[in-house]
Each structure stands twice: as structure tokens, then as C-alpha cells.
Chain A
């Protein structure tokens, strides 16, 4: 009795909402398959919007929402999309979500939307979004696609926040606009290099180096 019960239990939940396979979709892009540091996608915006933490967080949220929602829609349509125009269909869906995010930011987070300026619109060109649609959503069910989108958004956001943390802290001596060094009584002159995109490039490089030293990833294999 016990044995048969166990067997059916084993077969039945082959794909729970957060089964091992699905959890992997969420967690993998954070480290082992990170879109920025491993796949080296989405670098442009990672350099542009990471001068301060706040816009970086909103950008991360924006990309996550767009990737996840576009993944779901494309996944639902995947069997009906004519293969000859699939890239255009994907673009249309991505643009739809990007414009929605942009409009909502303008309505409720005006300051942030001004800081992000054109970069919200440029989420459309972020290779991560299109990459996930082509590589995953076109061939998988909506729920796993949603998780895949979330995971990749988080992986992107994680790097963005790390870069922004160092840039804001050492570039302007503050975190979320709060003057950390001044509050601690330490005189600190901001590092001008970190305020420039070049500084972000260096930080991204260091992150990639540290990550690969830790997990032994190499392009060769």
C-alpha cells in the first residue's frame, strides 16, 4: 500500500508550480547563466542607468516586468504565431509592454522617469528581452516562461544594483541620495570616474572576474 501510494505521488506532481525544474529557471540566471556577466547582454543600459541606486532599481523592475510579461504573452501565442513574421510579432508585444511601463512611470514616478529618460524606451532594444522570447518563450508553456522572464530580469537587476551601489557610494558618497560619508563624519570627495559610464564598465569587468574566479566558469568549455 505504502509503496503504491509513493509511486503515484512521484508521478503526479511532475510539474508543480515551483518544482525543481521551475526553481532552476528562476535561480540559474542569477549566477551560472547571468544575462549580463555570463551572456554579456544588456550592457548598454547597465552602464547608463547605474549612476544612482534608485533609477537602477526602477530600470531593473522595468526590464523584469517587460521580460516576464512578454514571455507570457508570446508563450500563449507561440502556436499561432506565423513563423515568417515571428520577430515582428515579438517586437510588437515587447513594445506594448515597454510603452505601458513608460506611461505608468510618467504618471506615478515622474522623477524617476525623468532620470531614466530614453532608457525606458530603449528596453525594447535590450537583447535580454528578445533573447528570452526567441530562446525560451517560443517553445515553452506560459508559466515556465513567466518564471524564466522573472529570473532573467532578476539576474539583470542584481548586477545593475551591485554596480549602482558601488557607483553611487564611491562616485557621489551617498546611497539612495543619503550622504553616507557625510553622515559618518568622513570627508569624502566623489570619484569622478565612477560617475562616467567608463567607471561602470570597470565595475562590470570586476564583477565578471570575481564571479568567474568563484564558480570556475570559462568560455572554453
Chain B
């Protein structure tokens, strides 16, 4: 059966409209749930740099009880009236380092008396696309307690390994300052065995970790991201250290 062009065009228009309206309604209706999930995931990632999260339910409570968050600028000055959770790290990343608004998540001890960790968001570029994550510094604002990285499109099995524990655990107990200088942590080229062997091989080195075989450019991206963002927080950290 051959239909007229008018029929075909009308049919297409109506079909498109119906589909578009259905999808728009679904998107509107589901957005609050999706946003809640994303927010919870962010909180979970922040907490995961300093503790093991057993289930998602407890994230909200722990976060509420133990996280004190605030926003600073490049000079380490507190920005009043800003909510750390609302800062769009992607938008800030695109600005010049000196103009960024920088959130800090301070994790208090169990009884809330002193701050145990400082969790800093970091954002950068890997091989194919954006990479980001959180770096948790211990109370001395020098030793890395843990990191959590994510990526948008690194190669599975190569650069995408930055999202695994195997790579992230290599950052544990590394130092970001060498005396007064911000040395950050550099990822080496090549890989010495992977797994525990990699951690062991770089044990004596405070500012270097083992690389990822086949993912040198992602590794360089990690190194640059840490250097860039720790640099942003440098003035704040130094001022804080001088005070204590």
C-alpha cells in the first residue's frame, strides 16, 4: 500500500510529538530521583577517601554528622554565603586557577571535637576526556590518606584503571609537601608489576607512585590534575599549617 506524501509527513510529525512529550514528562518526573542519586554518590565518594562505606544508607547520616564544608578562594580566604555542595566543580575548572571557587570538605573526628581529614575535589583531563575525584589529606595537611578518582571516557583496562582501588591505594601515605615546596605526587612512567608490588616498589618515595602500563597519558593527566588543584589550595593549606 502506497500512502500519499501528506499522510507520511503528518504521521511523522504526530509520532515525533507524541514521543517527545512522553520523554519530556518522564524526564521531568524522574529528575528529582536522579539528582538525589548523584548527590548521594558525591557524598559517598567524599567519605570513601577516609573510611569504608558498607552501605549507601549510612552515607547521609555520617555525612551530616561528620562533614563540615565550606568554600575558599585561591588566596585561602573563606567565601561566606557559599555552599560547598552547590559549587559546580566543572564550571570552576574551566576558569583560571586564581578565579576558582574551591570547596573543602572537612571530616571531623567521631566525637566532633577536631578535624581529622580535609577532602579536596580535583578535576582535570586524561587521555580522552575529563577525569576528576577527591583527595583526602590527613590532619597534618601533608599526608594523603586516600584518593578517589573517576573518569568519563578513559580506555577500559588501561586509563580507566584510575577508578580502581588498585591504582588509588598507591597514593596512600604519600606527601604533597617537600619542606615548604608543593611537590605534589607524580605518577611514574611504566609499571613495576602492578598490585602490591607497585606499592612496595615506591615505598621509600614520598612524592612518586608507580605508573600504569599502557596509560602514560592518563597518568600524566592525573599528575597535572593534582599539581593544578593542590596548587589552588596551597595558600589555604599553608595558612592553616602556620596557625596550628
Binding site for B on A (CB under 8 A): 80-85, 88-89, 92-93, 95-96, 99-100, 103-104, 106-108, 110
Q: How far is the CA of A82 from the CA of B23 in the complex (A)?
A: 23
Q: How far is the CA of A107 from the CA of B35 in the complex (A)?
A: 8
Find out whether the CB atom of A83 lies under 8 angstroms from the CB atom of B1.
yes
Q: Which residues of A contact B16 (CB under 8 A)?
A: 92
16 additional A-B residue pairs with CB within 8 Å, beyond A81-B11, A83-B1: A85-B8, A85-B11, A89-B11, A92-B16, A93-B19, A95-B19, A96-B22, A100-B22, A100-B23, A103-B26, A103-B27, A103-B34, A104-B26, A107-B34, A107-B37, A110-B41
8 Å CB interface, B1-33 against A: 1-3, 7-8, 11-12, 15-16, 19, 22-23, 26-27, 30, 33
Q: Which residues of B contact A110 (CB under 8 A)?
A: 34, 37, 41
Q: Which residue of A lies closest to B157 (CB)?
A: A196
Find out whether the CB atom of A104 lies under 8 angstroms from the CB atom of B30.
yes
Find out whether the CB atom of A100 lies under 8 angstroms from the CB atom of B41.
no
Find out whether the CB atom of B23 lies under 8 angstroms from the CB atom of A107.
no
Q: Which residue of B lies closest to A108 (CB)?
A: B33
Find out whether the CB atom of A82 lies under 8 angstroms from the CB atom of B22.
no
Partner of A92, one of B7, B15, B26: B15
Q: How far is the CA of A104 from the CA of B31 in the complex (A)?
A: 10
Q: How far is the CA of A88 from the CA of B15 in the complex (A)?
A: 10
Q: How far is the CA of A221 from the CA of B233 in the complex (A)?
A: 72
5 contacts between A and B (CB under 8 A): A81-B11, A83-B2, A92-B15, A100-B22, A104-B26
Partner of B8, one of A82, A93, A106, A107: A82
The 9 nearest A-B residue pairs measured at CB = A107-B33, A110-B37, A107-B30, A82-B3, A82-B8, A96-B19, A106-B34, A107-B34, A103-B30
Q: Which residues of B contact A82 (CB under 8 A)?
A: 3, 7-8, 11
Shortest C-beta distance, A80 to chain B (Å), equals 7
Find out whether the CB atom of B7 lies under 8 angstroms from the CB atom of A106.
no
Shortest C-beta distance, A179 to chain B (Å), equals 15
Find out whether the CB atom of B19 lies under 8 angstroms from the CB atom of A92.
yes
Q: Which residue of B lies closest to A114 (CB)?
A: B41
Q: Which residues of A contact B15 (CB under 8 A)?
A: 89, 92
Q: Which residue of B lies closest to A95 (CB)?
A: B19
Partner of A84, one of B3, B19, B26, B30: B3
Q: How far is the CA of A107 from the CA of B26 in the complex (A)?
A: 11
Q: Which residue of A lies closest to B41 (CB)?
A: A110
Find out whether the CB atom of B11 lies under 8 angstroms from the CB atom of A106.
no
Find out whether the CB atom of A106 lies under 8 angstroms from the CB atom of B19.
no
Find out whether the CB atom of A84 lies under 8 angstroms from the CB atom of B8.
yes
Q: Which residues of B contact A103 (CB under 8 A)?
A: 26-27, 30, 34
Q: Which residues of B contact A96 (CB under 8 A)?
A: 19, 22-23
Q: Which residues of A contact B26 (CB under 8 A)?
A: 99-100, 103-104
Shortest C-beta distance, A42 to chain B (Å), equals 21
Shortest C-beta distance, B18 to chain A (Å), equals 9
Q: Which residues of B contact A93 (CB under 8 A)?
A: 19
Q: Which residues of A contact B23 (CB under 8 A)?
A: 96, 99-100
